[in-house]
Amino acid sequence: MRSYRAQLLEELFSEGPHLATYAFEIGNPGLDSEIGIGGEFFLAYDSDVWHWKASMFQNSSSGYIYPRNTGEINYRTLLPIYQYTGLDAVFRGFETETHGNLTEHWTGRLAFSYVLATLVDSHQPLPRIPPLNGKLSLKYNRDQLSVGGAIRGATAQKRTAEFEEPTDAYVIMDCNAQYMIPQGRYIHSIAFTIHNVSDTVYRKHLSRVKVIMPEPGRNYKLNYRVYF
């Protein structure tokens, strides 16, 4: 499998603060396009009750473009300086998922994924690569009612790039309920969700702002929808 990605305008010509990522970003007009060559091996199983799939992959990227932390501070904005860089990198990993019916009314899903990314020349890790992470979810369905919950988490990420902070392991619980009300050619849906039930303070390694801000705490959401 071969892939191609052209440079973005901001990767070429940025020169200023990007507050959403807590960075002062500097473009690089000399960047080449990314060329990727990769392969994937997968297995799958399907039955009337259960579905399972797993895959392993390796992708080699020539000129992989990413914002590199220079370790310097822009003293006008007090933001760390990131310079867009294109270097050769290798990505290896796996992902697996299984889902199906536990009983007449209960369904479940379990998924895991992991990525190992390394710069070819320096053998250093790439930044913002997530650690082993997974999610287990259960759902109860009966007539118009659906109730469920999920446990999601990740291991600690100690394999960090230069000037990158490690992140701790975390486990988070979510829950939700939904009730559907058919009415003629309309279907009314009322859904209530609680994310991060235990109000745990945690940080995702993918986040550029994890140093100054954790992920959201306990969050309530009430939705009403009409399908027609």
Query: What pLDDT score was predicted for residue 76?
Result: 93
The answer on pLDDT for 184 being more than 90 is no
> Considering the chain, what is the average pLDDT of its residues?
95
d(CA 130, CA 61): 18
Angle at the Cα of 10 (from 8 to 15), degrees rounded to 5? 155
What is the pLDDT confidence band of residue 228, given thresholds at 50, 70 and 90?
A: confident
Question: Which amino acid makes up residue 65?
Answer: I
For range 211-221, the mean pLDDT: 95
d(CA 81, CA 162): 13
Residue 200: Cβ-neighbour burial (10 angstroms; 0-12, 13-18, 19+): middle
Structure confidence by residue, pLDDT tens digits, 92-148: 999 999 999 999 999 999 999 999 999 999 999 999 999 999 999 999 999 999 999
Position of tokens 């080699």?
Answer: 60
- The maximal CA–CA distance of the chain, rounded, in angstroms, is 65
Q: Which one, of 105, 119, 117, lies nearest residue 147 by Cα?
A: 105
Contact 197, 207 (CB under 8 A): no
Query: What pLDDT score was predicted for residue 1?
Result: 85
The answer on pLDDT for 171 being more than 90 is yes
